[in-house]
Amino acid sequence: MKLIDTLLGRPTLPRLMADTGVWLRQRGITAFDIEPVLMQLSLQLPDGSQHRIQLGRLWPHWQQAPRRARARLLHDYLHELLTAGEQVPTDYASARPHLRPVLRTRDQLAAAQLSVPGQAPDAPPLVAHRPWVGDLMAALVIDRPQSMMYVQPSLLKAWGVPWEQAWDDAIDNLRSASTAGRWQELVPGVWRGHWDDAYDSSRALLPEVMHRGPARQPLVLLPFREALLLTSADDPQGPQAMLAWALAQLDGPLRWLSPELLRLQARSWAPEEAVDPAAPLQAMLRLRFRVAAYDCQQQALAPTLPGLHVGACRVAQAEDGTLVNYTTWGQGQDTLLPEADNVLLMWQEAGEARLLSLPWASLQAHFADLLEPTTHQPPRYRVRGFPDAARLAEVAQATATAGTVTRAPTLRLDGSAG
DSSP assignment of 130-167? EE-STTEEEEEEEE-SS-EEEPPHHHHHHHT--HHHHH
244 phi and psi, to 5 degrees? Answer: -65, -40
What pLDDT score does 148 carry? 76
What pLDDT score does 242 carry? 98
Question: Rounded to an integer, what distance in angstroms lies between the CA atom of residue 193 and that of residue 214?
Answer: 10
What pLDDT score does 120 carry? 60
What Rg do the C-alpha atoms of the chain give, in angstroms? 23
User: Identity (one letter) of the amino acid at 226?
Assistant: E
Question: Rounded to an integer, what distance in angstroms lies between the CA atom of residue 333 and that of residue 410?
Answer: 27
* CA angle centred on 37, ends 143 and 155, rounded to 5°: 45
CB-based contact 112:35 (threshold 8 Å): yes
Is 198 in a helix, a strand, or coil? coil
Residue whose C-alpha is closest to residue 338's, from 303, 292, 306, 304: 292
Scanning 317-407, the segments in alpha helix (DSSP H) are: 360-367, 389-398
* Consecutive H or E run containing 41: strand 40-44
Provide the whole-model pTM.
Answer: 0.77
Strand-pair category, 309-310 with 335-338: parallel
Question: Rounded to an integer, what distance in angstroms lies between the CA atom of residue 100 and that of residue 97?
Answer: 9
Regions of the chain short of the pLDDT cut 50? 1-8, 401-418
What pLDDT score does 54 carry? 77
Tens-digit pLDDT profile for residues 163-210: 999 999 999 999 999 987 789 999 999 999 999 888 999 999 999 999
* CA distances, 225 to each of 25, 156, 202, 354 (Å): 31, 24, 8, 44
What pLDDT score does 406 carry? 40
What pLDDT score does 158 carry? 93
Question: Rounded to an integer, what distance in angstroms lies between the CA atom of residue 417 and that of residue 306?
Answer: 24
What pLDDT score does 359 carry? 93
CB-based contact 192:186 (threshold 8 Å): yes
